[in-house]
Structure 1
């Protein structure tokens, strides 16, 4: 997730750019969009630009779980190391594990990267997994990031309730205990669970033969931050409600919702227990955005939702983008969409991804588009959501 740290944080809410101007499709490009399958890449030469007008929106913090992310250091260089340790209160918890086996000196060795929880309360802790995504370790970071989000969105959790005795330590995800992580492979785990006792959560790297709970008991200190990755710590924001401030009208041309750019949508702030200092989550990875846009069609046109890798020319880390999101029904059914669905990544302009196409209301009234978005791990940010009028006739 180091790519997100390349963009400076801002302090203002989304607004219309002064230099923006109406952006319309070139002749024949509407047909290209309508001829594509959902999630497919299309080429739109001369259309994609960062100067497409912004849609002004209101962003409200929603009640949500305590949020912990482990991504600093992203590459764990010590054979036996604790990358994160945070205390949680009884209630819901979201945990995002994004760490890589970085051992190459004096030689590359296999490791285990796992997450554990200790019951620090005085009574039995009961833990139930509500949603989760656990990927096989891989050096294909784009695939893990895209599939990890898709699996999280699709997860129905577990009915099983585990009991943890006071002072006991257990693995949060038993699959991580079984995985062997080779050098440069990423461990990507995304979990949401509830506990009824205070606890302590840690992410550790250890030998494949050593149980995570045993390794945790032997470790005292958390490894130092490298300050070049997304971040680590406990954060107070886990869910946002994003609502467009005005009804979008297709007669006004294309416009975009910009999220996870560090400017219109600033990075969330938390605290790293290992240092006692403020932490900034560059990228807002793991934060869930519930987005709503009301729209109408004064000119009878439909509305296509596109996204693209808008920072592909900025630096070497932005050569690909892969994501997943949930979008409401249009010409394609409602549900999870892998972006892109016909290849691993999209590179940059003139490539765009067709997320959904919405027909206008039959009576000329308003329709509502709903989306669930979370910044995709391993990809360069932001991932603009562009709404483009298209002629469906």
Structure 2
């Protein structure tokens, strides 16, 4: 009997001293509230009443209490990862991520940098973590129990219900509503069941609905309800298309005004498409005009009206277009007829301005140095390239100061456009933006210490140019000293400075132009009377308006600036007659650019391009008295030359 009692007592003591393996969690709380009790100077922890052991005891160092990180994270259903390269520990529990380095008092929690009292350290291979930082980072409630030398940590271990809604203001009977479940468990337990209220795919009636969601985890704990309020609007009504005209009968060449009176129940018409709404007709007979309007939900309304055009003529087609085409718009006329008009003579006065045209090779097929030189003073850069590589690239302008003193670079007027696969879109935008910037330049400065390099126009270099895209820039700078510059292209993921020593100067493509040019500001004076008869001014033809010359500094060979791209033209017309239209005629093919006329930038055209010699762009119309007109432009990148300025007397108004 005594032997039996001794055996039972020893068995009981062995059971009491048995340690739960570190790989197993204590059983979760069925009520969703977890408790973890730590004992000072002891490696014992009680998780929901079950004893587990840490490899090192909870320890106090200089007033800061530390706990073994891996064992602690295990009990709050988290994990620890270590990156030997960066020596960084990453502690994760639920959606919270704590990152730290041993012996450093700064850490990040969910990306935000913070400081802690004390610092984590490694003890016999175990990371020791300040318990207060751990509690704050993972949303634990901490309570100090001095009488028992314990710290009590509690946290809710219930699942979190959450969802997003595709549309908070749907239309009754029309708008489908999607619900995206974003529920989760803070400790990573599985969610096994859910419950919804009012999660309708289509709401039949307008009104306010509260959609609510609950979820249950694998321990049987239900979340708190999560609710979103949806306000359902009455069913959307299609827009009502409506327009008026002043009368039902018009003469040929008589201007017609269309007044759009279309309405929508929510005032959300997003598209108005006119069919046959000509401002004037030039053939007799009936003409049907249609207006189709579409609201934000795709509902459509349409209306048509028929007007009668008589066989009486008020204005010819040419007269009508001259009178009613606004600056920035275009009209059609026989391009060949222009060549019979007399040409205006003008005086040319070239002003000093260094132009760097880095346009060859125009198509980027390899990494390298696309142009380099040493320049000082006033410099204009013209960059225009298309990415012909199979991967994105970036384009840089790198300045190097090889002088013994620091240098200053002032960046002024600039125009940048792209990347975009349509060359005419890029060319028109970059030209217009440069001219607009010239009207009110915004200056910025870069200081380059002696013996160092800097990149300028970082905003241009920041954009990656995708394969097939065109990228373009005009930019004016001033340099206080002679600086070496390089136009460099590298693949977008590469660092240009580290790549530069291994890059070589690329050869020209023999088609496009690169070089350094002087006298790149051209002023033209026209003193004769303009507008009394039809006349034209020939520009960028290399006969009357000659090309400026320069040198390709990478080879030392002389070059001519074909097209004078990058040259800033200023045309001073000193005596333009009243009621004169100034019109752009492209002579080489398509043209998409911009012109500054008396201080206002006019695009050719504001909504399209001039596609051929039979399309003309209206630039300006003089008023009731003679005027002096100043036109500033630079030939648009990607457009074809030469061009003509046409001066056409406006017809006498008729009633």
Matched, 1:236 2:518: yes
TM-score (norm 1): 0.81
Which structure shows the higher strand fraction?
Answer: 2
Cα distance 1:217–1:49, how it changes in 2: closer, same or farther (>3 A)?
Answer: same
Q: Secondary structure at the match of 2:418?
A: coil
Q: Secondary structure at the match of 2:641?
A: coil
Cα distance 1:53–1:214, how it changes in 2: closer, same or farther (>3 A)?
Answer: farther
- How many aligned positions are there? 337
Aligned to 2:585: 308
Aligned to 1:93: 379
Matched, 1:224 2:507: yes
Q: Secondary structure at the match of 2:643?
A: coil
CA contact (8 A) 1:326 1:373 kept: yes
CA contact (8 A) 1:76 1:83 kept: no
Q: Secondary structure at the match of 1:283?
A: helix
Cα distance 1:34–1:288, how it changes in 2: closer, same or farther (>3 A)?
Answer: same
User: Structure 1 CA distance, aligned partners of 2:576 and 2:356?
Assistant: 39
Q: Secondary structure at the match of 1:147?
A: helix
Aligned to 1:84: 371
Which of 602, 610, 614 is matched with 1:350 structurally? Answer: 614
User: Structure 2 CA distance, aligned partners of 1:369 and 1:212?
Assistant: 46
CA contact (8 A) 1:132 1:190 kept: yes
Which of 257, 260, 276 is matched with 2:537 structurally? Answer: 257
Which of 313, 325, 344 is matched with 2:595 structurally? Answer: 325
User: Structure 2 CA distance, aligned partners of 1:158 and 1:187?
Assistant: 22
Which of 183, 189, 192 is matched with 2:467 structurally? Answer: 183
Query: Offset at 1:292?
Result: 1.0
Aligned to 2:425: 143
TM-score (norm 2): 0.49
Aligned to 2:477: 193
Question: CA RMSD, aligned part only?
Answer: 1.9
Aligned to 1:60: 349
Query: Offset at 1:151?
Result: 0.8
Matched, 1:359 2:623: yes
Query: Offset at 1:391?
Result: 2.2
Aligned to 2:362: 74
Gaps of at least 5 residues in structure 1 are 1-25, 313-319, 329-333
User: Structure 2 CA distance, aligned partners of 1:161 and 1:126?
Assistant: 7
Q: Which structure carries more relative contact order (alpha carbon 8 Å, separation 6+)? A: 1
Cα distance 1:194–1:28, how it changes in 2: closer, same or farther (>3 A)?
Answer: same
Query: Offset at 1:50?
Result: 2.8
User: Structure 2 CA distance, aligned partners of 1:255 and 1:307?
Assistant: 12
Cα distance 1:115–1:296, how it changes in 2: closer, same or farther (>3 A)?
Answer: closer
Aligned to 1:131: 413
User: Structure 1 CA distance, aligned partners of 2:507 and 2:425?
Assistant: 28
Of the two, which has the highest radius of gyration?
2
CA contact (8 A) 2:381 2:474 kept: yes
Aligned to 1:115: 397
Aligned to 1:23: none
Gaps of at least 5 residues in structure 2 are 1-314
CA contact (8 A) 1:296 1:360 kept: no
User: Structure 2 CA distance, aligned partners of 1:29 and 1:126?
Assistant: 54
